[in-house]
Amino acid sequence: MTERTVRVEIPDRYRQAVIPHIMVDDADAAIDFYQRAFGAREDFRIDAPDGGILHAEITVGRSVLMLGDAGADDAEAASFAAPTSLGGGTSVTLHVFVPDVDSLAERAEAAGAEILQPPKDMFHGDRTVILKDPSGHIWVFLTHIEEVSQEELRRRLATAGRPDPV
């Protein structure tokens, strides 16, 4: 009797999220930084035949992040670029909820992250830090501190002189 495997449409690991896939100039160094700064766990990697990392996955908190070296596969080089090749800018910000944003910010800064906004309580009910990693990616780490209704959010935005988000 042969064993049959049940086909899973979406693996549990990817079930509840859009999975960011970032490109960097030195994926090995980036993974090392993410481990030191964010407590990331490396789940696996596929080395490129001629050096570098073709594909790797790490977990930061409960979030999966895919990454690789921007130049590791010539066929994909035209499609994927690291922020450094874009003049240092990026069009994506990575948001991750963590239990203690303050300690993460301290650890990240000590590991080499640039703090763009120090941890502070925000109008939307989260304590938030914004930082840039050495690869040029922007991260927003949040610790949820209170539930904020849409009405209260609108009130807080109006008090701060910000437009209504809805």
pTM of the model: 0.80
pLDDT by residue, tens only, the chain of 166 residues: 556 566 655 667 666 677 899 999 999 999 999 999 999 999 999 998 888 999 999 999 888 999 999 875 554 545 667 777 777 777 788 988 889 999 999 999 999 999 999 999 998 889 999 999 999 999 999 999 998 888 998 898 888 776 655 5
Cβ atoms within 10 Å, residue 138 = 18
Measure Cα distances from 61 to 66, 112, 166 in Å.
14, 19, 30
Closest CA to 103 of 151, 143, 45: 143
| Domain spans in the chain, listed from the N-terminal domain onward | 12-159
Q: Are 47 and 53 in contact (CB under 8 A)?
A: yes
| Coil vs helix vs strand at 138 | strand
Q: Are 129 and 147 in contact (CB under 8 A)?
A: no
CATH says 12-159 is which class? alpha beta
Q: What is the pLDDT of residue 94?
A: 92
Closest CA to 119 of 142, 139, 137, 98: 142
Please give the DSSP secondary-structure letter assigned to residue 41: E
Q: What is the pLDDT of residue 4?
A: 58
Give the distance from CA 16 to its chain's centroid. 15
Q: Are 105 and 131 in contact (CB under 8 A)?
A: yes
